[in-house]
Amino acid sequence: MFFSCRMPVPLRIEGYSDTFPWGKEWWNLSLPPGWQDWVDLPLAEVCARIWLSNNQAVLRAARELAGDGVLVRYEDVKADPAATLERVAQAVELPFADAWHARELPVVMTQTRPDPDKWLRHEREIHRVLPVVRDLAEQLGY
């Protein structure tokens, strides 16, 4: 297990702090602005808020960039890594390397293998936190 940062306040996140012995002191996800207000929420809601905050920041930064850009979704990379990376290379005016023609991406760090239906294991929790992310999720085509 890797730890990203030791927390300055105790975490009381149901499904995280009460599951792992180190969960009250260490955090493994990003810490967007406002994270301090989430230390008492259930893990699914914390994850939804992190997803929302991170995606809002990326979209805000993309709007500020000059020139053409390309929106890359995880699903696109997973479905066709070569075509997606070729679009990215064109957008940033880099040559498309032959090495990028791999059909399968290497698994870098995950507890379970990538799977487009992985979310179904947490469907109930996702439906509970959907109001937190619904507007942006719909805007992104989910």
Mean pLDDT, each 10-residue run in order, the chain (142 residues): 77 89 86 92 95 93 77 83 85 73 63 79 92 95 86
Sequence-ordered list of residues with C-beta below 8 angstroms from that of 141, at least 6 positions apart, any chain: 73
At 128 the pLDDT is 95
Whether the CB-CB separation of 136 and 50 falls below 8 Å is answered with: no
What would the two tokens of residue 85 be? 């990376």
Distance CA 81, CA 102 (A): 7
At 94 the pLDDT is 81
Distance CA 45, CA 128 (A): 8
What would the two tokens of residue 7 be? 């927390």
Which residues on adjacent β-strands are paired with residue 14? none
Read off φ and ψ for residue 76, nearest 5 degrees.
-65, -45
At 39 the pLDDT is 93
How many Cβ atoms are within 10 Å of 109's Cβ, its own excluded?
5
At 101 the pLDDT is 62
Annotate 24-40 with b (16+ C-beta within 10 A) or e (fewer): bbbbeeeeeeebeebbe
What would the two tokens of residue 118 be? 């992985």
At 28 the pLDDT is 84
At 3 the pLDDT is 57
Q: What is the pTM of this model?
A: 0.80
**What single letter denotes the amino acid at residue 73?**
R
